[in-house]
C-alpha cells in the first residue's frame, strides 16, 4: 500500500488508481466505527458500540448543556454552545443514513476500477494521479479545519477555567465540586468533541472526494471521445467498438453519480437545514454580544461550518461544467470518418450526454455553489431582520 505522503504529493513509480483517492477516507470510516459493516471480532463490536453511543448521545449532551448553563454563563458563551448544539441535532440522522448506505461505496469503487483500466496512456495516468493527490489534500484540509476548531475551543475554555461546550454529564456532574470533577468533565468533553469532529469531517468529506474523482473520469471520457475517428490504424469495427466502450463508460459514470447523489441528497439537506440557523446565531454573537475574543472564537467556529458544504457544492458545480463539455466533444469528434453504425450511435450518445450531471437535496434545490451562497445570503437576511427588530439589543439589556 502506498504511503500517505506519496498520496499527498503524488509520488511513486507505479500507476495510480482512482480508489487510492479514498485511502484516508476509508481509514477514517473504520476509525469512527462505520467499517466493517457487520463486525465479527469482539473488539470491533465494542468499538462500534462506543462510537454509536457517542453519536446518539451527542444531541442530548449538547442541548441539555445549553439549557443547564443558560442562566449561569455569559450570553456569548451560551450562544457559542448553542451553535454547536444546533449542529449536533442532525448529526445522528446523517450518521445513520450514511451507515445504511455504506455498502454502496464498495460498488462505486468496483466501477472506478473498471474505468481505470480504459486509461493507460501516460497523460491519462497523470490525470488520475492528480485526482488522487487532490482528493488526499482535500481530506487533509478537512482534518485541519475541524481539528483547529476543536483544539481552539478547549484551549480557550482551559484559559478561562470553563468547560469547552458545557455538556450535561450526569455521572460526572453528580460528584461534589472539586478539581477532580472539573478535570474528569473537561477531559471527557475534549475526547468526546474530537471523536465527533472526526466523525463529522469523515461524513462531510465523503461526497466532495467522490465527486472530484468523478470529475476526473468525466474529463478523461471527453478527451477520449474527441479522439474518435482520428486513429488511421483503426478499422471500422474497431472504431465502432471504441464508440460503444465510450458509451459504456458514460453509463458507468452516470451509475456512480446516481449512487453518490442518493447518499448526498439527504445528508446535504440536513446540513443546509441547520446552516442558516448556525450562521445567524454566530452573527448575533459576533456583532451584538461579543467582544474581541468572542469574535475570534466565533470566526474559528465558522470555518468548519462553511467547510461542511462548500467543497461538496464547489465540486458539484464543477462537475456540472465538466459534464457540459461531453456533448461538445462528441460533436467535434471526427465522425465523418466513421461508418453508418457509428453515426446512429453518436446521435444516441449526444442525446444522452446533453443532460448535465447534477445533484439535488431531496428534490428541493440543486446542490451547487449558487445554492450554498443563497443559503448564506438568507442567513444574513435573517440576521438583519432580527437585528432590525431590536431582538438582540432587547435581550442584551434584559441580561444586563
CA 272 to chain centre: 12
pLDDT of residue 290: 64
Between CA 35 and CA 38 the distance in angstroms is: 8
Evaluate if residue 397 carries a pLDDT over 70. Answer: no
**pLDDT higher than threshold 70 for residue 284:** yes
CA distance 371 to 308: 14
Average pLDDT (345-370) is 90
Q: How far apart are CA 20 and CA 397, in angstroms?
A: 56
pLDDT level of residue 289 (50, 70, 90 thresholds) = confident
Do 172 and 188 contact (CB within 8 A), yes or no?
Answer: yes
357 phi, psi to nearest 5 deg: -85, 120
- Tens digits of per-residue pLDDT, 142-168? 999 999 999 988 898 888 888 888 888
Query: How far is residue 222's CA from residue 336's CA, in Å, rounded to a whole number?
Result: 18
> What value does the mean pLDDT take over residues 313-332?
94
Strands 360-361, 365-366: pairing is antiparallel
**What gap in Å lies between CA 153 and CA 203, rounded to an integer?**
21
What are the b/e assignments for 198-209, b being 16+ CB within 10 Å? bbbbbbbbbbbb
For residue 400, pLDDT over 70 is answered with no
pTM of the shown model: 0.92
Whether the Cβ atoms of residue 330 and residue 353 lie closer than 8 Å to each other? yes
How much is the average pLDDT of 92-112?
A: 90
Helix, strand, or coil (residue 229) = coil
- Given phi > 0 = left and psi -120 to 50 = alpha, else beta, which region is 277? alpha
**Does residue 11 surpass a pLDDT of 90?**
no
Q: CA torsion, points 107, 108, 112, 114, in degrees to nearest 10?
A: 30
* pLDDT at position 399 over 80: no
Residue-wise pLDDT for 44-65, tens only, equals: 999 999 999 999 999 999 999 8
Largest CA distance in the chain: 86
* SS3 state of residue 361: strand
Q: Span 28-33, mean pLDDT?
A: 93
Report the C-alpha gap between 97 and 85 in whole angstroms: 20
CB distance 312 to 367 below 8 Å: yes
- Rank 6-10, 102-106, 281-285 by mean pLDDT and report only the highest: 6-10
Look at the alpha carbons of 313, 20, 201, 5 in this order and tell me if their dihedral is positive or negative. Answer: negative
Q: Nearest-5° angle of CA 246, CA 248, CA 252? A: 115
Q: Which residues pair with 365 in a beta bridge?
A: 361
Q: Report yes or no: 129 and 16 within 8 Å, Cβ to Cβ.
A: yes
- pLDDT given for residue 40 in this prediction: 82
- Among residues 179, 157, 178, the alpha carbon closest in space to that of 166 is found at 157
Average pLDDT estimate for 234-239: 91
Q: Indicate whether 178 pLDDT > 60.
A: yes
Q: Quick one: pLDDT at residue 209?
A: 96
In this structure, are residues 205 and 142 in contact, taking their beta carbons and an 8 Å threshold?
yes
Q: Could you give the 3-state DSSP secondary structure of residue 199?
A: helix
Three cell numbers, residue 270: 440536513
Quote the percentage of the chain above a pLDDT of 70: 95
Torsion angle of the four alpha carbons 314, 377, 199, 130, in this order, in degrees rounded to the nearest 10 = 10
Mean pLDDT of 199-215: 95
Sign of the CA dihedral 148, 47, 139, 380? negative
* Per-residue pLDDT reduced to its tens digit, 245-273: 999 999 999 999 999 999 989 888 888 88
Residue 172 pLDDT > 90, yes or no? no
Distance from C-alpha of 268 to C-alpha of 360, rounded to nearest angstrom = 9
- Ordered alpha helix ranges (H), 227-358: 236-284, 292-331, 340-353
pLDDT confidence tier of residue 133, bands split at 50, 70 and 90 = very high
Is 80 exceeded by the pLDDT of residue 384?
no
Instruction: Identify the bridge partners of residue 366 per DSSP, sorted by sequence position.
Output: 360
The x, y and z cell numbers of residue 265, run together, are 441528497
Amino acid at each position: 500500500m502506498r504511503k500517505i505522503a506519496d498520496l499527498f504529493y503524488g509520488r511513486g513509480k507505479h500507476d495510480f488508481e482512482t480508489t487510492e483517492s479514498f485511502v484516508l477516507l476509508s481509514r477514517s470510516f473504520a476509525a469512527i466505527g462505520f467499517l466493517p459493516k457487520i463486525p465479527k471480532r469482539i473488539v470491533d463490536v465494542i468499538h462500534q458500540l462506543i462510537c454509536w453511543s457517542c453519536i446518539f448521545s451527542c444531541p442530548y449532551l449538547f442541548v441539555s448543556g445549553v439549557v443547564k448553563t443558560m442562566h449561569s454563563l455569559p450570553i456569548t458563551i451560551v450562544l457559542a454552545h448553542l451553535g454547536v448544539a444546533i449542529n449536533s441535532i442532525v448529526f445522528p440522522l446523517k450518521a445513520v443514513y450514511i451507515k445504511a448506505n455504506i455498502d454502496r461505496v464498495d460498488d462505486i469503487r468496483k466501477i472506478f476500477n473498471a474505468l481505470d483500466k480504459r486509461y493507460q496512456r501516460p497523460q491519462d495516468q497523470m490525470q488520475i494521479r492528480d485526482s488522487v493527490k487532490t482528493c488526499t489534500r482535500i481530506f487533509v484540509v478537512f482534518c485541519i479545519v475541524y481539528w483547529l476548531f476543536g483544539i481552539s475551543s478547549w484551549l480557550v475554555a482551559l484559559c478561562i477555567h470553563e468547560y469547552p461546550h458545557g455538556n450535561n454529564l450526569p455521572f460526572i456532574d453528580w460528584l461534589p465540586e472539586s478539581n477532580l470533577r472539573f478535570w474528569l468533565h473537561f477531559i471527557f468533553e475534549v475526547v468526546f468533541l474530537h471523536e465527533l469532529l472526526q466523525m463529522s469531517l469523515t461524513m462531510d468529506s465523503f461526497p466532495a472526494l467522490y465527486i472530484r474523482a468523478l470529475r476526473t473520469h468525466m474529463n478523461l471520457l471527453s478527451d477520449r471521445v474527441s479522439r474518435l475517428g482520428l486513429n488511421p490504424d483503426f478499422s471500422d469495427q474497431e472504431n465502432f467498438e471504441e464508440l460503444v466502450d465510450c458509451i459504456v463508460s458514460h453509463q458507468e459514470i452516470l451509475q456512480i453519480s446516481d449512487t453518490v447523489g442518493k447518499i448526498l441528497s439527504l445528508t446535504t439537506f440536513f446540513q443546509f437545514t441547520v446552516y442558516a440557523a448556525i450562521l445567524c446565531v454566530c452573527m448575533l454573537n459576533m456583532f451584538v454580544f461579543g467582544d474581541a475574543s468572542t469574535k475570534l472564537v466565533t470566526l474559528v467556529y465558522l470555518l468548519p461550518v462553511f467547510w461542511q458544504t462548500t467543497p461538496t457544492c464547489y465540486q458539484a458545480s464543477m462537475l456540472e461544467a465538466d459534464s457540459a463539455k461531453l456533448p461538445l466533444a462528441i460533436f467535434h469528434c471526427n465522425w465523418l470518418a466513421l461508418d453508418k453504425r457509428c453515426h446512429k450511435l453518436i446521435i444516441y450518445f449526444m442525446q444522452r450526454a446533453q443532460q448535465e450531471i447534477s445533484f439535488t437535496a431531496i428534490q428541493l434545490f440543486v446542490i451547487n455553489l449558487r445554492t450554498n451562497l443563497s443559503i448564506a445570503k438568507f442567513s444574513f437576511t435573517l440576521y438583519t431582520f432580527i437585528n432590525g427588530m431590536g431582538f438582540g439589543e432587547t435581550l442584551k439589556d434584559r441580561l444586563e
